[in-house]
Structure formats: C-alpha cells, structure tokens
Amino acid sequence: MALKFRLRGLAETFIDDVMCPNCGIYGEDDVFFSTELTRVTLQGIVVVMQCRKCGEIFVPRSQRFGVINPTALREAVVKDSKETGEPVIENFHAVCSFAERLNSLNKRRV
C-alpha cells in the first residue's frame, strides 16, 4: 500500500515503500515511520520520515511528486510562510538539508 500525501487541488506525493537508511527496517505504510516533519515546498510536498525503531530522520529518495496547480501552490507556500514566520522552502534538496540538520542535532543529544 503506497503512502499518499495530498493538498487538495495543489500537490500530491506518493511513496511506494520505505527503508530506513540507518537500521534497514522496511515498510509500505506509516507503521514503522512517522511523517510529522513533512514539508511543503515550491516544488510540492516533500515527505520527511523518522524511523520509529532507531529515530533516524531521512527523506525517502523514491518519492513521486505531482504539482496540480503551480501558481496556487506558490501562493499557498508564501502565504503560510508569512503567517508562520518560517522561511519559504524552495525544493527537495533544501528539505534534505533540513533533515540532515535535525539528524545531527538528535545524534548530539544521545
């Protein structure tokens, strides 16, 4: 069963299966992985996962992105940024950097 992430009328992302790069646990749903750190970017929804077994934070490379309405997505991302004070996240690579920073912070705490 694929994981589906949708913002109605704006964007969607699908992930068929996931494997933790740290401990190797495999799954096709959110039983072994948390997706609470997922980010919406100007390129669409980029899923960030955290392994429930080992705590590793990562961005699955097998994501399939779909942007339904690029103009409306951009407007929604910019509006959300203004309301929350969070910076606009440009793309997949920026989210990967975000996940790497979170991982290094988590590993320092342990």
* pLDDT per residue as tens digits for the range 30-80: 889 999 999 999 999 999 999 999 999 999 998 999 999 999 999 999 999
Domain count, the chain: 1
pTM across the whole model? 0.90
The pLDDT value recorded for residue 33 is 94
The pLDDT value recorded for residue 107 is 78
pLDDT at position 110 over 90: no
No. of helices (H) and no. of strands (E), the chain: 2, 10
CA pair distance 96, 7, nearest whole angstrom: 21
Structural domain boundaries, residue 89: 3-109
Q: How confident is the model at residue 28 (pLDDT cuts 50, 70, 90)?
A: confident
